[in-house]
Chain A
Amino acid sequence: MDEALLRGLTPGVLAVLIRRGADFAAAEDAVQDALVEAVRVWPDDPPRDAKGWLVTVAWRKFLDATRADTARRRREDRAEEEPAPGPAPAVDDTLRLYFLCAHPSLTPSSAVALTLRAVGGLTTRQIARAYLVPEATMAQRISRAKRTVSGVRFDRPGDVATVLRVLYLVFNEGYSGDVDLAAEAVRLTRQLAAVIDHPEVAGLLALMLLHHARRASRTAPDGSLVPLAEQDRGLWDTELIAEGVGILQAALARDRLGEFQAQAAIAALHADAPTAAETDWAQIVEWYDELVRLTGSPVVRLNRAVAVGEADGPRAGLAALAELDDSLPRYAAVAAHLHERDGDLATAARLYAEAARKAGNLAERDHLTRRAARLNARR
């Protein structure tokens, strides 16, 4: 059975239940039950209309689950019963679900969990394993999130930026379980791009595809990190790159630049270079300037200093770095890199060791320690 297909149907099915008048939390539970049922039944008895089957079963589950409640509350409910909303296009339904799961009243971790479950159709167990927390903890996080958004009314369109931030978080967190979160984020962003015409949605999709294309080359067989300049570019997925570049070009042509398009443009310039030495760093610096203008982010300025170091030489990079706060994450790592390029190996080695102590994850720490060790061995 095609699990991806099954999960692709999830938001549509959920949206139908909500449109028929089920509240979000109950509808979501019912759809999860229906998915479990599908996994059990479909291998022996595949339905002709998969979505229709899921809607029927989920609706029945919803009715079963609420029957007791309904009986208890029938008297009160009768007084304020509203007619069910009329049929709406499926596209709007799916989109509404994305906005609901990324609602600004949710914390980022709750929005991520709810999106993966309600839009992505993952089970609570899968999400818990992906984020390395106990299943009971994740179940609580999801049910609290569902309660939080249950009362949300959609009388005006949400801000697509909140949805994009959630999808970006899913893509960027490198935890692993039996679910490939990066691939899941790509799938959900593709699905979003299919129902909304927005250059930043396209920009984020392009950004994800361009980074995903390099994945095989990012780690060595022993699990250690391989920096961009040392990656085997033969391992890059040229089809994904071509797709990402195509999507990006179409987005840029609409002349409504945003941060994801600018980030994707930088990724595209890297993807476009046959060798690290042929990278068009001057253009990359220009895109960083755009990003600084768009976001004002100090992290962007830090990355810009690396690009300046490549475009105009390490001294120029160090000068750009000197304007920044040295408590920024990865500041020491960038400083180490620029000093190494400038030939000051002693300073670079000391800074790499300092950067390793400040690293936020083991892979980076090991990588930076190796850099320090390599320079110390050469001196």
Chain B
Amino acid sequence: MAKYLLLKHYRGAPAPVNDVPMDRWTPEEISAHVQYMNDFAARLEKSGEFVDGQALAPEGAWVRYDGEGRPPVTDGPFAETKDLIAGWMIIDVDSYERAVELAGELSAAPGAGGKPIHEWLEVRPFLACPPTITE
């Protein structure tokens, strides 16, 4: 088994095919979308492949150490930040092919007009533990 992170972006991903902001959908289309996402997670729980899923607020800040005895420096949020993560799902699956298959299903979530959004999701493998047998 290998773990993969499916990343959803507010910004930074290539534009989806069905690119209409959510507040321009009908309320029923929003409900259908939410339902699809919930069903997807529930299905992965049943198949034993779901690990975690979380959504992130769009606004954050940059923080760094500023030396001994000084409070950390905070900056931002920066409107020009190119990449903005919206949320993630972590899955634990048998193969890369399976991870891609599931990301494809997630990207088919319905949007405006009840049609799939075709949203680009980023699939990133976790660095695993070293194997016990190495030779």
- Determine, out of B19-27, B98-106, B124-132, the stretch whose residues face the partner at the interface: B19-27
Residues in B99-134 with C-beta less than 8 Å from chain A: none
**Chain A residues whose C-beta falls within 8 Å of the C-beta of B57 in the assembled complex:** 357-360
Are A357 and B58 CB-contacts (below 8 A) given A223-B38, A366-B34, A374-B27?
yes
Contact at A372–B23, with CB atoms within 8 Å? yes
- Taken residue by residue from 29 to 64, chain B's Cβ proximity to chain A (1 for < 8 Å, 0 otherwise) reads as 111001100100000000000000001011100000
Contacting pair A224 B23 (CB below 8 A): no
Residue of A nearest to B26 (CB): A377
CB proximity of A241 to chain B, nearest CB, Å: 30
Supposing A357-B58, A360-B57 touch, asked if A377 and B38 sit within 8 A by C-beta, the answer is no
| CB closest chain-B residue, reference A360 | B57
A22: CB under 8 A from chain B? no
In the assembled complex, which residues on chain B have CB atoms less than 8 Å from the CB atom of A352? 23
Docked CA distance A144–B111 (Å): 47
What are 28 A-to-B residue pairs whose CB atoms are below 8 Å?
Answer: A222-B31, A223-B38, A224-B31, A224-B34, A352-B23, A353-B21, A353-B23, A356-B23, A357-B58, A359-B57, A360-B57, A365-B55, A366-B30, A366-B34, A369-B30, A370-B27, A370-B30, A370-B31, A372-B23, A373-B25, A373-B26, A373-B27, A373-B29, A373-B30, A376-B23, A376-B24, A377-B26, A377-B27
Judge whether A247 is part of the interface by a CB distance below 8 angstroms.
no
Measured CB to CB, the closest approach of chain A to B29, in angstroms, equals 8
Instruction: Give the number of residues in B that approach A within 8 Å (Cβ atoms).
Output: 17
A362: interface (CB < 8 Å): yes
Flag whether A185 is at the interface (Cβ < 8 A): no
A213 within 8 A of B: no
Which residues of A in the span 221-280 have a Cβ within 8 Å of any Cβ on B? 222-224
Which B residues from 59 to 75 make CB contacts under 8 A with A?
59
Residues of chain A lying within 8 A (CB to CB) of residue B25:
373
Separation of A374 and B38 alpha carbons in the complex (Å): 22
Shortest C-beta distance, B109 to chain A (Å), equals 13
On chain B, the residues within 8 Å of A111 by CB distance are none
Bound complex: CA A373 to CA B112 (Å): 11
Query: Quick one: closest A residue to B35, CB to CB?
Result: A222
How many A-B contacts at CB < 8 Å in the complex?
A: 43
Q: In the complex, what distance in Å separates the CA atom of A353 from the CA atom of B23?
A: 6
- List chain B residues, Cβ under 8 A from A222: 31, 34-35
Instruction: Tell yes or no: A349 within 8 A of B by CB.
Output: yes
The interface residues of chain A lying within 8 Å CB-to-CB of B59 are 357-358
The chain B residue with its CB closest to the CB of A224 is: B31
Contact A223 B27 (CB under 8 A): no
A97 to B38, CA, bound (A): 41
Contacts of A224 in B (CB 8 A): 31, 34
Distance between Cα atoms of A224 and B38 in the complex (Å): 12
- Not counting A357-B57, A373-B24, a sample of 4 additional A-B residue pairs whose C-beta atoms are within 8 angstroms of each other reads A357-B59, A365-B55, A369-B30, A373-B26
Which of A362, A370, A377 has the most CB atoms of chain B within a 10 A radius of its CB?
A370
Q: How far is the CB of B86 from chain A (nearest CB, A)?
A: 11
Interfacial residues of chain A within 209-223, with CB under 8 A of chain B in the complex: 222-223
Query: With A and B bound together, what is the CA distance between A279 and B26 in angstroms?
Result: 30
Q: Pick the contact of A373: B22, B38, B55 (CB < 8 A).
A: B22
- Give the Cβ gap from B78 to chain A, nearest Cβ, in Å: 16
- Taken together as a complex, chains A and B put the C-alpha atoms of A324 and B72 apart, in Å, by 30
Closest CB pairs A-B (n = 9): A372-B23, A353-B23, A370-B27, A374-B27, A369-B22, A373-B27, A370-B30, A373-B23, A373-B25
Cα–Cα distance between A376 and B55 once the two chains are bound (Å): 25
Docked-complex contact A223 and B24, CB < 8 angstroms: no
Q: How far is the CA of A353 from the CA of B58 in the complex (A)?
A: 13
* Chain A residues, CB < 8 A from B26: 373, 377
Smallest CB gap from B112: residue in A: A373
In angstroms, Cα B45 to Cα A198, docked, is 47
Those of A340-379 within 8 Å (CB) of chain B: 349, 352-353, 356-360, 362, 365-366, 369-370, 372-374, 376-377
Say how far B21's CB is from chain A's closest CB, in angstroms.
Answer: 8
Q: How far is the CB of A58 from chain B (nearest CB, A)?
A: 37
